[in-house]
């Protein structure tokens, strides 16, 4: 399609030529007399009254002519003391030529700089190439353009991908070669960011969901590097989601358990069980409670629930009581099977080191819930509700947190999970 000049405007020492299509032009500077000739290629002037010659305020003669049917020529003829600068606007349908006396420009360099910045902004760059580099578990995508790249990134889910908008950069005229999939990247797609915007959208389709990315540009800004690295923590979390733990808050409903000083054991058991659940879930572990509310549950039901889940471990939480002596206090940990001994040891030691409570020993006993669960299973008597000091530990929110922390640390140790550094 042939381009057509729709209007020509002379204003503020600038000549603006507006056309219906994108402009292709050549600019020729000639000496003696000093002049500039701009030819708009594949272009014509429909309104022939636009073809004219006039003198500018700087005493320069500007002539618009049509040397052939598909060429429009603008010539600027004046003294050598005139500086002319031509550039296309953003939509490439307007060509602007600014004219200034040379002494105007030499007086203040600022003018020159401003013009250059405008030029940078107005003429978009072009996306040159995209390369992928792989190095161990790192993958780098390198985007090169003809101009400095300004960009926005958007991490998107379902499917996992990273979108990058390259601002003031146009997609290449010829499609870039397709990339073969790597261990981290399945494909790279290139398109226009949004209609009317001189921006390119690059979409990197990712193979994995646990990748972190970092961006960097070279000194000129024409190269953008996006480095993908596996997020170890997320990777571990994903692995741990497969680990199941059953927590059994003892008693419930009409079965209150021990009851002293206005406190009922069933409530304490449930509070600490929930705190422990939250802690373990922070590590991505899947946690089940045999009861989540104040309801009665038989021992057989607790075992049935646990055996249907087949967890990595089972922990039953209780508070102790002794009617005959209110002086007796301390933590007791029970196990029955050989595979449970280590877990009992870790739990017991962890409570002793986290709380100021006496050692009432690790014991072996055939409690129903730990005898019938064929996984590492323990029953922890966290303290004596019948003792004043232990009851304080069991009923204060602060020390309940410490119990939960102690149990968490022991369980993590048993599952060989590295605790988070705080
Ligand atoms: Zn109990």
The answer to whether residue 421 sits within a structural domain is no
DSSP-assigned states of every residue in 212-243: EEEEEE-TTS-EEEEEEEE-HHHHHHHHHTT-
Q: The domain that contains 52 carries what CATH number?
A: 2.60.40.3500
Same domain, 217 and 263: no
Q: Work out whether strand 138-145 and strand 71-77 pair parallel, antiparallel, or are unpaired.
A: unpaired
Residue 408 structure tokens:
């968490």
Distance 305 CA to ligand 1 centre (A): 19
pLDDT score, position 255: 97
Distance 281 CA to ligand 1 centre (A): 25
225 is catalytic: no
The answer to whether residue 150 sits within a structural domain is yes
Distance 114 CA to ligand 1 centre (A): 81
Distance 167 CA to ligand 1 centre (A): 66
Distance 315 CA to ligand 1 centre (A): 13
The answer to whether residue 312 sits within a structural domain is yes
Distance 258 CA to ligand 1 centre (A): 7
Sheet containing strand 313-320, edge to edge, reads 286-289, 244-249, 313-320, 377-384, 331-335, 359-364
pLDDT score, position 376: 97
* Separation between Cα atoms, residue 282 and residue 275, nearest integer Å: 11
pLDDT score, position 420: 83
Q: Which of 236, 381, 409, 418 is catalytic?
A: 381
pLDDT score, position 108: 34
Residue tagged 């039953």 (tokens): 316
The answer to whether residue 420 sits within a structural domain is no
The answer to whether residue 169 sits within a structural domain is yes
Same domain, 325 and 410: yes
Same domain, 51 and 196: no
Same domain, 395 and 252: yes
CB contact at 8 A, 15 and 7? no
The model's pTM is 0.56
Question: What DSSP character marks residue 38?
Answer: E
Point out the domain boundary residue: 196, 230, 264. Answer: 230
Count of domains in the chain?
3
Same domain, 41 and 157: no
Distance 45 CA to ligand 1 centre (A): 97
The answer to whether residue 201 sits within a structural domain is yes
Q: List the Cα angle 405/385/293 in 5-degree steps.
A: 65
Q: The domain that contains 355 carries what CATH number?
A: 3.40.630.40
The tens-digit pLDDT sequence of the chain (422 residues) is 789 999 998 887 889 999 998 888 877 777 667 778 888 888 899 888 889 888 887 778 899 999 888 889 998 887 666 778 888 888 889 999 888 776 544 333 333 333 433 444 457 899 999 999 998 889 999 999 999 998 988 888 888 999 998 988 999 988 898 888 888 999 999 988 765 567 899 999 999 888 999 999 988 889 999 999 988 888 888 888 889 999 999 999 999 999 999 999 999 999 999 999 999 999 999 999 999 999 999 999 999 999 999 999 999 999 999 999 999 999 999 999 999 999 999 999 999 999 999 999 999 999 999 999 999 999 999 999 999 999 999 999 999 999 999 999 999 999 999 888 76
Same domain, 140 and 206: yes
Point out the domain boundary residue: 94, 122, 150. Answer: 122
Distance 265 CA to ligand 1 centre (A): 7
Same domain, 181 and 328: no
pLDDT score, position 309: 96
Same domain, 143 and 270: no
Distance 382 CA to ligand 1 centre (A): 10
* Separation between Cα atoms, residue 161 and residue 187, nearest integer Å: 10
The answer to whether residue 52 sits within a structural domain is yes
Same domain, 338 and 259: yes
Distance 256 CA to ligand 1 centre (A): 8
Same domain, 349 and 381: yes
Same domain, 331 and 292: yes
Parent domain of 26 = 3-122
Distance 257 CA to ligand 1 centre (A): 5
The answer to whether residue 419 sits within a structural domain is no
Q: Provide the sign of the torsion angle of the four alpha carbons 305, 306, 307, 311, taken in this order.
A: positive
Point out the domain boundary residue: 179, 214, 230. Answer: 230
Element (H, E) at 125: strand 125-135
Same domain, 221 and 332: no
- Burial (CB count within 10 angstroms: exposed 0-12, middle 13-18, buried 19+), residue 314: buried
Distance 250 CA to ligand 1 centre (A): 5
* Separation between Cα atoms, residue 225 and residue 149, nearest integer Å: 11
């Amino acid at each position: 399609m042939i381009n057509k000049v729709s209007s020509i405007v002379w204003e503020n020492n600038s000549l603006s030529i507006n056309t219906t299509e994108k402009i292709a032009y050549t600019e020729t500077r000639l000496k003696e007399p000093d002049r500039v000739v701009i030819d708009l290629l594949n272009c014509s002037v429909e309104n022939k009254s636009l073809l004219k010659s006039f003198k500018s305020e700087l005493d320069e003669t500007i002539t618009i002519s049509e040397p052939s049917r598909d060429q429009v020529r603008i010539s600027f003829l004046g003294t050598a003391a005139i500086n002319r600068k031509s550039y296309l606007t953003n939509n490439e349908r307007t060509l602007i030529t600014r004219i200034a006396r040379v002494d105007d420009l030499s007086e203040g360099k600022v003018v020159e700089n401003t013009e250059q910045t405008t030029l940078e902004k107005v003429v978009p760059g072009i996306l040159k190439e995209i390369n992928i580099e792989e190095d161990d578990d790192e993958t780098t995508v390198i985007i090169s353009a003809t101009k400095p790249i300004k960009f926005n990134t958007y991490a998107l889910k379902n499917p996992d991908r990273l979108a990058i908008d390259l601002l003031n950069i146009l997609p290449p005229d010829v499609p870039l070669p397709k990339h073969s999939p790597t261990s981290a990247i399945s494909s790279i797609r290139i398109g226009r960011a949004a209609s009317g915007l001189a921006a390119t959208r690059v979409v990197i389709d990712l193979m994995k969901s646990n990748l972190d990315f970092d961006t960097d540009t070279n000194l000129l800004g024409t190269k953008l590097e996006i480095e993908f690295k596996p997020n170890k923590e997320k990777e571990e979390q994903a692995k741990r989601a497969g680990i199941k733990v059953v927590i059994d808050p003892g008693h419930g409903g009409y079965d209150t358990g021990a009851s002293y000083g206005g406190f009922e054991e069933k409530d304490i058991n449930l509070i600490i069980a929930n705190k422990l659940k939250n802690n373990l879930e922070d590590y991505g572990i899947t946690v089940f409670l045999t009861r989540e509310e104040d309801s009665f549950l038989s021992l057989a039901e607790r075992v049935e629930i646990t055996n249907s889940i087949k967890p990595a471990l089972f922990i039953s939480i209780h508070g102790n009581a002794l009617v005959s002596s209110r002086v007796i206090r301390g933590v007791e940990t029970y196990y029955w099977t050989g595979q449970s001994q280590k877990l009992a040891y870790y739990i017991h030691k962890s409570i002793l080191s986290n709380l100021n409570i006496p050692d009432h020993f690790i014991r072996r006993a055939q409690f129903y819930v730990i005898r019938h669960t064929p996984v590492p299973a323990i029953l922890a008597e966290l303290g004596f509700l019948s003792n004043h000091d232990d009851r304080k530990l069991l009923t204060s929110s602060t020390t309940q947190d410490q119990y939960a922390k102690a149990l968490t640390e022991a369980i993590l140790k048993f599952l060989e999970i590295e605790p988070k550094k705080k």
